[in-house]
Structure 1
Amino acid sequence: MAALALAFFVTALLYASVGFGGGSTYTALLALAEVDYRLLPLLSLACNLVVVVGSSVRFGRAGVTPWRGAILLTGLAAPAAFIGGLTPIGEAGFLALLGGSLVFTALSMLLPVAGGDPTRPTRFTRSMPLVAVPLGYLAGLVGIGGGIFLAPLLHLVRWNDARAIAATASLFILVNSLFGLAGQVVKNGPGRLGAAVELGLPLLVAVAVAGQVGSLLALKYLPQRWIRWGTAALTAWVGGRLLLNL
């Protein structure tokens, strides 16, 4: 458990520094540790919430959250995340979908961030709310917040500057994790949620501390490029391991 807690700490530190919760990698790490796959979304979403609550508050207090756009994207995705959490899925399909999503996400994070004036967005920016619904459903289905899918798209269309996108992803993950967790609890019962939290209490403590440090680094210290590359490398490694173990 100590090694797993350390892996969760590093994951939360990296992901929180770019506005993410880390749910996708938590789930993959738990799967590699051979934890019952039915507990994975519950524990990962709980860890997500612990990380992004602090991140969202910190970003909001710093005045970098673009509330109007962030609330629109999040409001469209949240009901779909609840439905995704309710959707039954087998172990093989769950792990394949998660592993493939991680590898795809890692590749997308290596794409160059669009430059230029964020107040002059590309012509695709207005269509971004349309992608919120499928991203929310996928997030609820595999037990993550979905910000790791949303943020690269926002960067590609120059939706806003890097810190505003990180703040938006953090809020997106927070709300989707709540709705996705609700769907998972309805599907599996509250007893399984209790078992997941009891099993993962050290992991929750680790990500709580790392999440606060990571969001502070994002606002004040580390270059975003370094953090993105480190997060992409970790995500690709875990996703690849997961797919190879199928």
Structure 2
Amino acid sequence: MSVLLATLFFITAALYASVGFGGGSTYNALLVLYGVDYRVLPTIALVCNILVVAGGSWRFASAGHLNFKKLLPFVATSIPLAWLGGRIPISETIFIGALGFSLLAAGLHLSFGQKNSPIEATKPSSPYIGALVGGSIGFLSGLVGIGGGIFLAPVLYFLRWGRPKEIAGACSLFILVNSISGLTGQVTKLNDLGTLTLVSQYWALFPAVLIGGQIGSRFANYRLKNATIKHLTAILILYVSIRLILRWVNLVF
């Protein structure tokens, strides 16, 4: 267990928590680059996700920024499909490719996406659209061990689903429930493969992200601009996504 890896997980948790996300995709990427058995990566990343976003979800709910009834169509399909995605064994090539391109999309979204400007008026979205979007993101989340909030956020902004804090709260809860559901599928799969014990070797990563997530969630209370945090997070994501895509190209060709 490397001190450097734990430090990188701490930094990742702090950056992601500061913008309302869990960091699952980047945890996975760091573990791939570190040479960890790819079969256990989603389990480690999803546990880290849960530790980071659980506190954030509670704070959003306490502040009145979390409307579960409104989010229900999205999570009703994402929860079972995240479990299904977590149960499906995939090859290392598919895993690294899916993860690399997911990270690239996430990095581009943070770099050029919604600037969190106020939404003048919200409008109700179709529950059928919510179910389709939630299910699609949930399946991908369970498959590669991410929470999916980085993909849900731009969709909610496009749909004018709510105000920025409401969308941040929705993404936080979405990440939490998908991570729990995906984790149950991943653990069942690892039990079937007899590799679950490998996860315990990386226990030090869990307190690292717990502390980092608590620090990151409080960044907004200081003078560090949200845009600055987003740019730093985007640089980290884009760097590791390019590393993963290059590794995927080598595996394919």
**Residues 103 and 140 from structure 1, CA distance in 2 versus in 1: closer, same or farther, beyond 3 angstroms?**
same
- CA positional deviation for 1:206: 0.7
In the alignment, structure 1 residue 156 sits paired with structure 2 residue 148 = no
Superposed CA deviations along residues 173-230 of structure 1, whole A, max 9, x for unmatched, are 111011101111121218633431x222111111001111112224665433222222
Cα distance in 2 between the residues matched to 1:178 and 1:111? 27
TM (norm. structure 1) is 0.91
Partner of 1:105: 106
Secondary structure of 1:65's counterpart equals coil
- CA positional deviation for 1:130: 2.3
CA contact (8 A) 2:122 2:163 kept: no
The 5 Å alignment of 1:134-145 reads: 134-145=136-147
- CA positional deviation for 1:239: 0.7
Partner of 1:117: 119
Superposed CA deviations along residues 15-41 of structure 1, whole A, max 9, x for unmatched, are 111221100000000000000001101
Q: Provide the aligned C-alpha RMSD in A.
A: 2.2
Cα distance in 1 between the residues matched to 2:230 and 2:158? 14
User: Could you tell which deviates more after superposition, 26-35 or 102-111?
Assistant: 102-111
CA contact (8 A) 2:137 2:148 kept: yes
**Residues 118 and 90 from structure 1, CA distance in 2 versus in 1: closer, same or farther, beyond 3 angstroms?**
farther
Cα distance in 2 between the residues matched to 1:16 and 1:118? 26
**Residues 164 and 120 from structure 1, CA distance in 2 versus in 1: closer, same or farther, beyond 3 angstroms?**
closer
**Residues 19 and 231 from structure 1, CA distance in 2 versus in 1: closer, same or farther, beyond 3 angstroms?**
same
**Residues 154 and 221 from structure 1, CA distance in 2 versus in 1: closer, same or farther, beyond 3 angstroms?**
farther
Superposed CA deviations along residues 72-92 of structure 1, whole A, max 9, x for unmatched, are 322221111001011120001
CA contact (8 A) 1:8 1:203 kept: yes
Structure 1 segments unaligned to the other structure (5+ residues): none
From 193, 197, 204, the equivalent of 2:196 is 193
- CA positional deviation for 1:69: 2.0
Amino acid at match of 1:188: L
Partner of 1:12: 13
CA contact (8 A) 1:118 1:158 kept: no
Cα distance in 1 between the residues matched to 2:162 and 2:228? 20
From 233, 236, 239, the equivalent of 1:234 is 236
Cα distance in 1 between the residues matched to 2:237 and 2:29? 9
**Residues 96 and 121 from structure 1, CA distance in 2 versus in 1: closer, same or farther, beyond 3 angstroms?**
same
Amino acid at match of 2:159: V
Give identity over the alignment, percent: 44
Cα distance in 1 between the residues matched to 2:226 and 2:78? 26
Cα distance in 2 between the residues matched to 1:55 and 1:42? 21
- Give the length in aligned residue pairs: 245
From 208, 217, 223, the equivalent of 2:210 is 208
Cα distance in 2 between the residues matched to 1:145 and 1:45? 7
**Residues 51 and 144 from structure 1, CA distance in 2 versus in 1: closer, same or farther, beyond 3 angstroms?**
same
Structure 2 segments unaligned to the other structure (5+ residues): 249-253
